[in-house]
Amino acid sequence: MSVFRDGFLWGGATAANQCEGGYLEGGKGLSVPDLLLGGDVNTPRTFCPTIEPGVFYPSHEAVDMYHRYKEDIALFGEMGFKCYRLSINWGRIFPNGDDEEPNEEGLAFYDSVFDECHKYGIEPLVTLCHYEIPWAIVTKYKGFSDRRVIDLFVKYATTCFKRYKDKVKYWLTFNEINIPIMDEKMGDFYGIGVVQDEDLKRTSPCTLPEITDVPQMRMEAIHNEFVASARAVIEGHKINPDFMIGNMICHITWYPLTPHPKDMLEVQKRDSICNDICGDVQVRGAYPYFARTYYQSLGLDTSFMDNEEDLEIIRKGTVDFYTFSYYMSNCVTIQEGVDMVKGNMMGGAKNPYLKASDWGWQIDPDGLRYTLNKLASRYPGTPLMVVENGFGAFDKVEEDGSIHDDYRISYFREHIKAMREAVKDGVPLIGYTTWGPIDLVSAGTGQYAKRYGFIYVDRHDDGTGDFSRSRKDSFYWYQKVCRSNGEVIE
């Protein structure tokens, strides 16, 4: 008997902008990632407000899933997926974000995608906003810093809920809603679409950290996303009471580098700010006490937290389940001059007990067990789901076309073992979708070379490749995992 419950949602996760391509097809409007160029582990991605001819933009074709989704979903079916997490690209449904009527061609596209999933018994789990804010919302409204965008999001969400109410049961509102709460510049733009006039006038590319950051606007935009998310939850349940609507947090798991009590205090502070402000608002329906203290420490006017109507919506629109991405853990210390490592969105001090990927992400399966237990005790009774976990690596194609990605299998095996232990600990875990079951464009670096898939895609950073798909060794391994409900992992 498997330790995982019957109906456990095994599968994989993607985001439209990182896999679909077809960036202006089917009536789609531009969205934020369409303006981003590629980088690599040492070169940050850049942004330019106009699309330059002859320049390579990774999202424009991505891995061409827009045209190949039937083949790809068939491969997911062959692996035995029970669940496929994907995002709807907002700009396919409302090309300008504020259009009167939705774009029928975009709606029909996702109808067909969901039908294809159901053919193979795959339950879709749909993220409504995965770093895909329509570009016109950025230029016209400065993203979620404008409260009118709350209504635009709710209209988009309810359009999707109504259209797909019999095809999709599991929904997530915003991907990694907590990213902009940390002082990382990338989050401003990607997650909340906040940008200043001077950056919209740029004529040559700049790096994301060079984009002007206005912390007051950033934090108000997150608040507006909380309200938008809660309203979507409330409206969604009216449309179909069986909907399961969740949040999605980029869980950054922190350890003290030393037993110095001040390192421990720093861990507590970071965990509270990075992870718990958003989790508490969306699961418990109220800001935790340390949110205001944090905002005030940045010199912000916190009156946006006192709007009674918003607080009532937040109180009522709590999520049905908590989902998160988990890739690695980070250490923190008050000591200076320690070795640092990179990480997903933010790095930390180097942990001497852990190895890291070629992109500097420290591999820590025990941290997943720890995180699951932490969340289960913080949000008692709330079902949990790991909706992103994966290993970005360079893959080598052998002469016969095979790809021996034992490093990826080993990463997943250890994380599944950790989930088993967490379930035995009593954690209410309902599913697991690996990040990037098929190779796709990296969000952080814009690379194809940072590969996550069980399925290889012949596409490269110089724009070459014919997009053909092939199965890596990990494909056959994960097939056994899905088919055995997580029992067979050797």
Q: Per rule CB under 6 A, is residue 325 in the interface with ligand BGP?
A: yes
CB of 249 to ligand BGP, least distance (A): 10
Q: Per rule CB under 6 A, is residue 275 in the interface with ligand BGP?
A: no
The answer to whether 77 and 69 have CB atoms below 8 angstroms apart is: no
194: Cβ–Cβ under 8 A, 6 or more apart, which residues?
A: 142, 143, 144, 145, 180, 188, 214, 217, 218, 221
Q: Which of 61, 176, 225, 235 is catalytic?
A: 176
Nearer to ligand BGP, 415 or 450 (CB): 450
What are the phi and psi torsion angles at 4 (to 5°)?
-80, 140
Residue 370: closest CA among 271, 281, 282: 271
For this structure, is 176 an active site residue?
yes
Neighbours of 426 (CB within 10 A): 11
Selected binder of ligand BGP within 29, 279, 343, 392 (CB under 6 A):
392
Q: According to CB under 6 A, which residues from 174 to 193 bind ligand BGP?
A: 175-176
Q: According to CB under 6 A, which residues from 422 to 441 bind ligand BGP?
A: 435
The answer to whether 173 and 233 have CB atoms below 8 angstroms apart is: yes
C-alpha–C-alpha distance, residues 255 and 276, integer Å: 15
Which regions of 195-328 does DSSP assign to beta strands (E)?
206-207, 244-250, 253-256, 321-325
Q: Per rule CB under 6 A, is residue 247 in the interface with ligand BGP?
A: no
Q: Which of 61, 116, 266, 388 is catalytic?
A: 388
Nearer to ligand BGP, 310 or 405 (CB): 405
Q: Per rule CB under 6 A, is residue 450 in the interface with ligand BGP?
A: yes
Nearer to ligand BGP, 189 or 287 (CB): 189
Residue whose pair of structure tokens reads 């237990």 in the numeric block: 373
HSE-CB for 117 with a 13 A CA cutoff: 22
C-alpha–C-alpha distance, residues 55 and 374, integer Å: 45
Nearer to ligand BGP, 58 or 95 (CB): 58
Nearer to ligand BGP, 141 or 174 (CB): 174
Nearer to ligand BGP, 59 or 318 (CB): 59
For this structure, is 388 an active site residue?
yes
C-alpha–C-alpha distance, residues 370 and 368, integer Å: 5
CB of 345 to ligand BGP, least distance (A): 6
Q: Per rule CB under 6 A, is residue 220 in the interface with ligand BGP?
A: no
Q: Per rule CB under 6 A, is residue 15 in the interface with ligand BGP?
A: yes
Scanning 46-54, 115-123, 406-414, 442-450 for contacts with ligand BGP by CB under 6 A, the matching segment is: 442-450
Mapping DSSP onto H, E and C, the string for 317-373 reads CCCCEEEEECCCEEEECCCCCCCEECCCCCCEECCCCCCECCCCCECCHHHHHHHHH
Number of residues that bind ligand BGP (CB under 6 A): 15
Scanning 192-200, 238-246, 285-293, 443-451 for contacts with ligand BGP by CB under 6 A, the matching segment is: 443-451
Provide the phi-psi class of 401: left if phi over 0, else alpha when psi is between -120 and 50, else beta: left
Q: According to CB under 6 A, which residues from 344 to 373 bind ligand BGP?
A: 344
Which regions of 22-102 does DSSP assign to beta strands (E)?
46-47, 83-87
Nearer to ligand BGP, 129 or 423 (CB): 129
Selected binder of ligand BGP within 113, 172, 250, 313 (CB under 6 A):
250
Residue 328: closest CA among 343, 348, 350: 343
Indicate which residues carry an active-site annotation. 176, 388
Instruction: Enumerate binding residues for ligand BGP (CB under 6 A).
Output: 15, 18, 175-176, 250, 325, 344, 388, 392, 435, 442-445, 450
